[in-house]
Amino acid sequence: MTRYLKVLGLALVAALAMSVTAASSASATNFKFHSEGTSTVLTGSQHAQNDVFTTDGGTVSCSNATYSGTQSGATVESVEVTPTYSGCTAFGFINVPIHVNGCKYKFGTSTTNYQGAVHVVCGSKPIEITAPGCTVTVGTQTPDGNATYTNVGSGTTREVTVDVNLSGIDYTEHDTFEGGCEGPTGTLKTNGTYKGAALVTGETSKKAHLGIWVG
């Protein structure tokens, strides 16, 4: 009987260990971006607040930010969108242009509940903020912080809000005339912050709504 109980006890311990391992593996699985379609046009519009980028030289605040991209596949772990900014004030100047130069934001997933990293992905040229006297450039990087995703709506009207809160952003200030920037020109700084919020909608190529969600 004692031997039987020992064997039974070992079996129970093994079963418990397997269940804990299975639960740990399940909890370590990234959430995904989902769509009702296999090719989804993604459109993001500013939601609730201005997009704000802060540097040593001051604050860049944009009253209009839009995003466009395509999700290829019904379920993916990341999506890329191209931002467009207008209505921007920077360092006390109004109508400051932001040239994205083909750079994209890549939104990722993680094991954390509906939060993921944001990657800035650029080609040969960085993002350029061209205020009078000073141009600020932001290149390829993965800043600290994350994007938080929230499902809204139901059925084909399902959308996702994306709230971005980033810090430790690398940027470089370039004088366009002497003394135009805060501090020495050409100096790489690593203390930029960015906050923004967008409502992202999915559509077919013919502008019919497709439900999108995270989960």
Give 166's strand partners.
145, 194
Q: What is the DSSP letter of 50?
A: -
pLDDT in tens, 135-171: 999 999 999 999 999 999 999 999 999 999 999 999 9
Burial letters 125-161, b for 16+ CB under 10 A, else e: ebbbbbbeebbbbbbebbbebbbbbebeeeeeebbbb
pLDDT in tens, 181-200: 877 889 899 999 999 999 99
Query: Using CA of residue 78, residue 206, residue 65, residue 99, what is the dihedral sign?
Result: positive
**Cα distance between residue 17 and residue 15, in whole Å:** 5
Cβ atoms within 10 Å of 49's Cβ, excluding its own: 12
Q: Are 137 and 127 in contact (CB under 8 A)?
A: yes
- State the pTM of this model: 0.85
Q: What is the pLDDT of residue 57?
A: 86
